[in-house]
Amino acid sequence: MTKLLALGLLTLTACTAPAPESTDPATSETATPAESTPAETDTAGEQPSAELGGTLRVISHDSFTLSDGMLDQFQQETGVKVERIEAGDAGEMLNRLILTKQAPLADVVYGLDNSMLPRAQAEDLLTPYRSPALDSVPEEYRLDEDGLLNTVDYGVVALNYDRAAWDETGLPLPGTLDQLNDPEYASNLVIPSPATSSPGLAFLLATVNELGEEGAWAWWNEAETNGMKIVGGWSDAYYTEFTRAGGAYPLVLSYGSSPAAEVFFAEGYDPAKIPSESPTANLFIPGTTALQLEGVGILKGSENEAAARAFVDWMLSEKVQADIPTNMWVYPAVEGTKLDPVFALAEETDVAPFEAELTEDPQALIDAWVENVQRK
Amino acid sequence: MTRSSAAGLLPSSLTGWLVALPSLVFLTLMLVLPLGRTLTEGGLQLGVWGQDYFQGRLAWTLWQAGLTAGLALLVGVPLAYLLSRYRLPGGDTLLRLLLLPFVTPVLVAALGLNALLGPRGWLSDWLPFSPSDGPLLILLGNLFFNLPVMIRLSYGGFSRISPSLIGAARTLGAGGWGAALRVGLPLALPGIAAGAILTFLYSALSFGLPLILGGARYATLEVEIYTLTAYQLRLGEASALIAGQLLLTLVATWVYVGLTAQGSGTPTRVRPRATGGPLWLGLALTAVVFTLCFVPLLAVVARSLLGSAGPTLAYWQAVLSDPATLHFVGNTVRFGLLALIGATLLGGLHALGAWLARARTLDLLSLLPLMVSPVSLAVGYLLAYPRLAATLPMLLAAYTLLAYPLVTRSVLPALRALPPRTLEAAHTLGAGSLAAHRTVTLPLTLPALRGGAALSLATVLGEFGATLVLTRPEWATLSVGLYQRLGRPGDTNLGEACALATILLLLAAGTFWLLDGGKGEVT
């Protein structure tokens, strides 16, 4: 018996012997253990920086991905060992940072957005550092001029519909927010909850921006009564409720770039033969869209501020900016960055950022939403 | 509460507490202190319990958990009885595979249930109603996860009844079902009640499932705690809910511990082949369990092989040629085994201690990790150990914490079932206490230890602890890789996520086969 058990465990470990760390392709984005000091490379990069050295702890939401080897380049150029920490989604991350203010979890943070900046400011989480590259970011996309957060990318939260499934409903597309909560439309719409997801929160802000608070609660309650479904997060909405995944709802809250991603991640995608149309499409109804600006900033109490600054600059560098779109399905903030041709399938729309007072205290809005909608 | 035993110099209750000391220290550091930090951070704002909304949440939480337990009893108990009395076709395989739902990540379960019962689901055409909205889907999801627990526990209860007892009842004129009801049921009651209470607890505390399947309307208390804690940072209100929930689970667990302490007897393994009524009922119930617990998983496997234009191997090719996949598997196995070692040691010692001390309190303490809201621990770790929050030891400790109760629950009944004379005999023949345990206790409890190990490995594979601590990309496991893919739109992401889920299920099935053989019993 015991022998059998030991044997079983042995074969288990043997079959799946962990790959040696140094040749670990899966995590080339992450630090390789500093077995030796990094080679002194004469970087022929755009911005040769001094050897900074040390360790840099980078905290981000779970969706932070770059192409393999990108972070290695940063480590080679600067001699800084990067330790990446993932802290759930952006909302959870903000709260974790607030809870650990006294003993910061990291030196630099990526992924806080415009709806979170006021709270991060009020909690005094960030140290200002304005990257020179911020000058190349259009003014309306800058999160703040002091560089508490430097905008890295932006996205538009927007409704998407499944073309084939929508045709089956035989309905014309809704054109106004007012129509959207009628029974025939609301019963076809699924959205992630404002209380537990950042696109959901963006949608809530958009409705309040359009209708005012009282009007928004009335709209939401009507929509819920008429069959709009509210689920936990984006994945739940998109992969269990949306008709593309076999759900019942042909209308889902997602991002402006999602139709392009649908094509990019379609079976047998060939970059040379991009189809003329995506199976899904955006539906930009006024009062349902929101501009999300994501930024990178230095955390107060950082133990390696020089390296943190270099990292902020690097996130806005040409290489990283060009790498971001097909990894994270957002738009690069620096003007003139080349986009992958597949992005032609994502309609761009001009969405102005919300007024500052709307995003002053999103938490209070969420609380009010919970009070007036969820708990009704 | 405690008694002194004749064997040994120390009163055995003290010995028991001493043996369990390492697990108690671990519990204090990993659960009691962090939980305390969370509760004191925001203060207990007990006023929330006065709000209709939260009372409604509590009512719904209890209602859905109670209904799940009731349905699980209805399906699970007769099937467990038949499995323990007769050889049913595929019965042993079923018992073994019943561990699979246990490791399924919640989002994967939701995908599978959706493929089965969603608007275009395989079963939906046969049903007169649409279960895709409303509480029914949550109930079915609860059953998917908990029916296996119910069946395995009741099976353990029934298989401890000597068939000669049932035989005697039949000789005295009781019919087959009469004997089962009048003799079998009362004797197996501890196991059955244990299954029902555990099902109730798991369903009452479930959070991923109602969050994903139910939407805001069907939020359980745990979902509210999660939202208030992780997103709204309203720790005072959350703490009041956490404390209330803990009180509730304590009561249920106290009852449970009392019930399971009575179980004893030796399992029997000689069973006749089923024929006639038992055979047909057994097959019908097996079909129900198969539909609820395995068809959703098969749907996920099928999805990994079905593209938009028919069958395809593209998703598998992509996953198998991706170097990251091997890394995910490596991490999953590595963390799983490390946590398994910790859980086996701590869980085994805790069980031994609880058995020696015969202390209900000690027994109850081993269940604490299953009773505490994970998100409240996550906050507690950040507050108590901010410097360790993103370290590997912390991650492994969190996994161990969630896995070790299952080892204790498996080993305890086996210890209690030890023939009391055997140890004394070993002593008489000159074996010291330790030697007696090594030569008598260990071999006799080994099958149970293996069963517990399989279950605890399942918790790690199923990634219940991922939300407890901060992680790093280099620690990504299979389920992390799977969730990453489900965070982006597009067919290939869904297909590859389903392929990864299939790998996870195969890995789990393989380890259960090696560790447990389907015979393990848990209480």
Give the pLDDT of residue B207.
78
pLDDT tens for each residue of A91-128: 889 999 999 999 999 999 999 999 899 999 999 999 99
Q: Do B331 and A18 touch (CB under 8 A)?
A: yes
Distance CA B486, CA B503 (A): 16
CATH code of A365's domain: 3.40.190.10
Give the angle A281-A343-A270 at the CA atoms, nearest 5°.
95
Domain co-membership, A135 together with A163: no
Interface residue B467 vs chain A (CB under 8 A): yes
The C-alpha of A91 sits at a distance from chain B's nearest C-alpha, in angstroms, of: 6
Domain co-membership, A121 together with A242: no
Fold for domain B43-304?
A: MetI-like fold (1.10.3720)
Domain co-membership, A263 together with A173: yes
Copy the structure tokens of residue B434: 């330790």
Q: Do A19 and B326 touch (CB under 8 A)?
A: yes
Q: Quick check: is A45 in a domain?
A: no
Chain B residue with Cα closest to A366:
B232
The two beta strands, A55-60 and A108-113, are parallel
| Cα A252 to the center of its chain, rounded Å | 17
Listed as ranges, residues in chain A with pLDDT below 50 are 1-48
Interface residue B107 vs chain A (CB under 8 A): yes
State phi, psi for B205 to the nearest 5 degrees. -95, 0
Chain B residue with Cα closest to A10:
B337
Interface residue A54 vs chain B (CB under 8 A): no
Listed as ranges, residues in chain B with pLDDT below 50 are 1-9, 518, 520, 523
Give the pLDDT of residue B496.
93
How far the first Cα of chain B sits from its last, in Å, is: 21
Distance CA B98, CA B146 (A): 10
Interface residue B397 vs chain A (CB under 8 A): no
Domain co-membership, A84 together with A141: yes
List all residues of chain A from 133 to 192 with a beta carbon under 8 Å from chain B. Answer: none
CB A353 within 8 A of CB A295: no
Chain A residue with Cα closest to B118:
A247
**Identical fold between B12-41+312-522 and B43-304:** yes
Domain co-membership, A172 together with A94: no
State phi, psi for A231 to the nearest 5 degrees. -120, 180
Copy the structure tokens of residue B306: 């079905």
- Closest in B307, B390, B490 to A262, CB measured: B490
Residue boundaries of the structural domains of chain B: 12-41+312-522, 43-304
Give the pLDDT of residue A9.
36
Interface residue B511 vs chain A (CB under 8 A): yes
Distance CA A22, CA A36 (A): 12
Domain co-membership, A230 together with A98: no
Our count of domains for chain A comes to 2
Distance CA B178, CA B1 (A): 37
Q: Quick check: is A21 in a domain?
A: no
Q: Do B211 and A232 touch (CB under 8 A)?
A: yes
Domain co-membership, A202 together with A276: yes
User: DSSP character for A247?
Assistant: -
CB B485 within 8 A of CB B107: no
Question: Across B287-433, where does the E strand assignment appear?
Answer: 306-307, 310-311
- Closest in A1, A193, A248 to B216, CB measured: A193
Give the pLDDT of residue A39.
39
Classify residue B233 as left (phi > 0), alpha (psi -120 to 50) or beta. Answer: left
Interface residue B515 vs chain A (CB under 8 A): yes
Count of CA atoms in the C-beta half-sphere (13 A) of B146: 32
Copy the structure tokens of residue B46: 């007990």
CB A271 within 8 A of CB A345: no
Distance CA A281, CA A256 (A): 9
Chain B residue with Cα closest to A18:
B330
Residue count (chain A): 376
Q: Output the CA torsion sign for A16, A21, A25, A30.
A: positive
Q: Do A234 and B487 touch (CB under 8 A)?
A: yes
Domain co-membership, A89 together with A166: no
Distance CA B467, CA B395 (A): 10
Q: Which of B186, B287, B223, B268 is nearest to B54 (CA)?
A: B223
CB A353 within 8 A of CB A139: no
Q: What range does the domain containing A323 cover?
A: 55-155+292-345
Q: Which of B264, B270, B269, B523 is nearest to B419 (CA)?
A: B264
Count of CA atoms in the C-beta half-sphere (13 A) of A333: 29
Q: Quick check: is A299 in a domain?
A: yes
User: DSSP character for A270?
Assistant: -
Distance CA B293, CA A371 (A): 37
The two beta strands, A189-192 and A251-255, are parallel
| Cα B154 to the center of its chain, rounded Å | 14
Q: Output the CA torsion sign for B139, B145, B148, B152.
A: negative
The C-alpha of A356 sits at a distance from chain B's nearest C-alpha, in angstroms, of: 20
Cβ neighbours around A276 below 10 Å, total = 6
SS3 breakdown of chain B: % helix, strand, coil, rounded to 5?
Answer: 75, 0, 25
The hierarchical CATH code for the domain B12-41+312-522 is 1.10.3720.10
Place of tokens 């055995």: B12
Q: Which residues of B touch A343 (CB under 8 A)?
A: none
